[in-house]
């Protein structure tokens, strides 16, 4: 094998390793989070804002910039939901553990309120509170607030990833 082929092989192998490492923003394509409550709504950041504290809400799944997310996997099996438009993480405001506490975006700092895991029935569970992400009152309306609530066996707490 000539020198150029060896260098190309090493570079290709190194590139493959980088793509497979957890925690890299390019490890998986961005997706929309579709809520299965029957209202054909996705999770988005209001007005596709890039500001800390911008609220998460429901909106029709139309491919708007603030509605795309990717998962950044952590070593403990949880993941951050990072908004592709802002680069900020989905979190629960003030690290609250209360039912009804709102979801918002904030600069990713790696704390538990910004970590999520998949729970029963495709629910997204906040690692800090143990509560599920949902739209307030299982609303079908655009602009309904995203919040956390204890697991309630309802479709409004179930999510699918769509392109």
The DSSP line for 2-29 is: -HHHHHHHHHHHHHHHHHHSTT-TTSS-
Tell me the pLDDT band of 125, cut-offs 50, 70 and 90: very high
**Fold entry, domain 25-162:** Trefoil (Acidic Fibroblast Growth Factor, subunit A) (2.80.10)
Per the prediction, the chain carries an average pLDDT of: 87
**Model confidence band, residue 69 (pLDDT cutoffs 50, 70, 90):** very high
Quick: pLDDT tens for 25-61. Answer: 455 799 999 999 878 899 999 999 999 999 999 999 9
């Amino acid at each position: 094998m000539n020198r150029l082929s060896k260098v190309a092989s090493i570079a290709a192998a190194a590139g493959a390793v980088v793509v497979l490492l957890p925690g890299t923003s390019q490890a998986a394509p961005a997706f929309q989070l579709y809520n299965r409550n029957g209202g054909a709504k996705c999770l988005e950041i209001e007005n596709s804002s890039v500001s800390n504290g911008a609220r998460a809400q429901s909106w029709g799944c139309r491919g708007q910039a603030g509605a795309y997310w990717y998962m950044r996997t952590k070593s403990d099996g949880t993941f951050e939901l990072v908004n592709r438009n802002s680069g900020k993480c989905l979190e629960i405001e003030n690290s609250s553990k209360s039912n009804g506490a709102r979801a918002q975006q904030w600069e990713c700092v790696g704390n538990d309120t910004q970590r999520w895991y998949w729970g029963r029935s495709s629910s997204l569970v906040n690692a800090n509170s143990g509560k599920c992400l949902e739209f307030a009152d299982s609303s079908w309306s655009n602009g309904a607030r995203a919040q956390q609530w204890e697991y309630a066996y309802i479709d409004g707490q179930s999510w699918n990833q769509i392109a």
